Amino acid sequence: ALQDTSGTVTGILCIAHPQPLDNIDSFETILRPFVPRLEAELERLWTEDRLREEERRLRGIVDTMFDGVVTINERAHIESINAAGMRIFGYERDEVVGKNVNMLIPEPYKSKHNGILKSYILTGRARTEGFGAEVVGQRKDGSVFPCVFPFPTRGWKTSEFL
């Protein structure tokens, strides 16, 4: 049986050989070429498990924050929104994920935000770093409120906090 680092069985290894294996040396000779590949695959699976667990932990932290958190990708499409963000903007998660972040910004700030974001993606530098642009957010009901859209202080990744 294959086990992860906590001892949980994650799979079973079965090797079929056309001849009976009469001693341990024969068995080791057959397995030896597979060991590096098996070790690499097990390490990959364990790493994926650790990353999934870390992602669940971070999502739990973000979802219990009092501040609204919206993450976007490099195309300005919303990838996630936490519970506070849903409450503040008045949207459910499935109403915003995959949509352009500009749905949360009224005019004339929306047009300005497009330029700021495009400039940031092209140059990797924001006009204001850290807490970024002070803008006006727009709720689902059309009401507006002041908010801050921070830009990351490091280069663009696949997803960044907005």
Return the closest-CA partner of residue 125 out of 146, 154, 97, 159: 154
102-126 pLDDT, tens digit each: 899 888 777 776 666 666 666 666 5
- pTM score, whole prediction: 0.60
What residues pair up with 145 in beta bridges, in sequence order? 137
- Euclidean distance between the first and final Cα of the chain, in Å? 45
127-162: b (≥16 Cβ within 10 Å) or e:
eeeeebbebebbeeeeeeeebebebbeeeeeeebeb
67-111 pLDDT, tens digit each: 999 988 878 889 999 999 999 999 999 999 999 988 998 887 777
